[in-house]
Structure 1
Amino acid sequence: MIAVEVVLAWPDRVDSRLLQLPDEATVADAVAACAIPGAADCPAVAVHGVLAAPGQLLLDGDRVELLRPLLADPKDNRRRRARGG
């Protein structure tokens, strides 16, 4: 068994769960097991701040972070800055 923490830390909402998962658990397994409302709808997940694929294997002590949707498209922001606005 491995110990994993799943965290959702958004400006308006904070939640975390400590889980005990099988040794071969993946990021998707942790998200499914965490029972944090809305976890399955998160557009991306990171492990220790690095973007992670759902099939990535987890290690004992990993921190899985549920990421929120982007508020603005970075490409649009760059275009707007390039135009001077």
Structure 2
Amino acid sequence: MSERLSVEVCYALPDAQTLIPVEIPAGATLQQAIDASGILQRFPSIDLGTQKVGVFGRLKPLDTVLADHDRVEIYRPLLVDPKMSRQRRVEKTRKAGSVEGRRWLNRDSR
């Protein structure tokens, strides 16, 4: 009897997360776990040619060999660049005259 690994394949949408437990043979790759999970049929919008994948938050290539209890993650493309989003929040706060900014200025003037 050959050794089997238990892994989970995870894909999250803005309103829901899908977590599919899969048993695969030892030595299986990230791509094989994704195929075995059936997630590509469940979410036809997933494009592994453009979307990144990883294990426990670390980007990995599709030919990465998995270990027992790994969590395979398929990442959605970002809708907004995080740096731009932060910059917009900072500008909005500055325009509004943030209370936090005034507290900081008052503290320095003591």
Q: Normalized against structure 2, the TM-score is what?
A: 0.62
- More helix per residue: 2
Deviation beyond 2 Å, 4+ runs, structure 1: 72-75
Mapping of 1:65-80 within 5 angstroms? 65-73=73-81, 77=84
Q: Give 3-state SS (helix, strand or coil) of 1:41's partner.
A: coil
Counterpart for residue 69 of structure 2: 61
Question: Comparing both chains, which one has the higher relative contact order based on Cα–Cα distances under 8 Å and sequence gaps of 6 or more?
Answer: 1
Structure 1 residues not aligned, in runs of 5+? none
Counterpart for residue 41 of structure 1: 47
Deviations 1:49-81 (A, max 9, x none): 101100000000100111111112467x39xx5
Larger of the two Rg values belongs to structure: 2
Q: Could you say what the CA RMSD is over the residues aligned between the two structures, in angstroms?
A: 2.3
Identical positions, percent = 38
Structure 2 residues not aligned, in runs of 5+? 92-110
Count of aligned pairs: 81
Amino acid at match of 2:80: A
Quick one: distance in 2 between partners of 1:74 and 1:56?
28
Q: Normalized against structure 1, the TM-score is what?
A: 0.78
